[in-house]
Amino acid sequence: MPKIEIVASILSADLTRLGEHVKEAEAAGADRIQVDIMDGRFVPNITFGPLVVEAVRRSTQMPIEAHLMIVEPERYVPEFASAGADVIIVHQEATPHLHRAIQQIHHLGKKAGVAINPSTPAAMLEDIMGDVDSVLVMTVNPGFGGQEFIAETLSKIARVRQMIVERGLACDIEVDGGISAATAPRVVQAGANLLVSGAFIFSSREGVAAAIRRLREGVKS
Ligand code: DX5
């Protein structure tokens, strides 16, 4: 089982003090930062562009993931690469040219991830799984932070882990949406190792450090 990592999603961060909030997550032991890019078409919300990735890049040494929830992501991959993203994640449902998009990301020297929505079966990953560094199984319908975890995604996480093991691949499984101290142990049990969390980390009353500590304690093997 690959190393379990906590990925703090800034969608729920206080954007009036984004740099500080990112540094707080880093000091509290987060392993990566995720920046959710939404275009109002692939998902019913509009969020950030490359400028925000640049701002996060200036605030931290942690690896930055750009999670592209945009149609035709290949149009903007170079911008997010030069903005400082270390990992670029595209949705399987967003482009008919997924293999080309993954190659494009690797040619720019970045890590590539492929994401699937809750209604997309694991089987859609069959012919791309060997080309990516991570598979992101959405555990909510993408577009908003603070949504409820969809428990039906647990069996899909287990299926993806089985596919990775059967092929002898070193591919991470990332989960995103509704990840908290209550749901983190269940997704890890199913086979996930990269845990994206936004609202639980940045919006909980106990603060960022306590939230990350609880997430880690819940998944300690
Ligand atoms: C939702 C985004 C998530 C979100 C995290 O479309 O992809 O990254 O920020 O969600 P919560 O707040 O549920 O942890």
- 31 given a catalytic annotation: no
Q: Which residues contact 205 (CB under 8 A, 6 or more apart)?
A: none
Q: How confident is the model at residue 113 (pLDDT cuts 50, 70, 90)?
A: very high
Q: How many angstroms separate the alpha carbon of residue 139 from the centre of ligand 1?
A: 9
pLDDT tens-digit readout, 21-40: 999 999 999 999 999 999 99
> What are the counts of helices (DSSP H) followed by strands (DSSP E) for the chain?
8, 8
Ligand 1, atom 6, residue with closest C-alpha: 142
pLDDT tens-digit readout, 120-172: 999 999 999 999 999 999 999 999 999 999 999 999 999 999 999 999 999 99
Q: How many angstroms separate the alpha carbon of residue 9 from the centre of ligand 1?
A: 7
CA torsion 209-182-114-193 (nearest 10°) is: 70
- Lining ligand 1 with CB less than 6 A are 9, 11-12, 34, 36, 67, 140, 142-147, 176-179, 196-200
What's residue 183's pLDDT? 98
Of all atoms in ligand 1, which is nearest to the CA of residue 141?
A: 6
**pTM score above 0.95:** yes
Alpha-carbon distance of 50 to 129, in angstroms, equals 27
What's residue 31's pLDDT? 98
Of all atoms in ligand 1, which is nearest to the CA of residue 199?
A: 12
Residue 38, classed as helix, strand or coil, is strand
- 36 given a catalytic annotation: yes
Marked catalytic residue, from 39, 133, 172, 176 = 176
pLDDT tens-digit readout, 165-194: 999 999 999 999 999 999 999 999 999 999
Specify whether the CB–CB gap between 213 and 28 falls below 8 A: yes
Mutate to test the pocket of ligand 1, among 37, 176, 187, 201 (most ligand atoms within 8 A of CB): 176
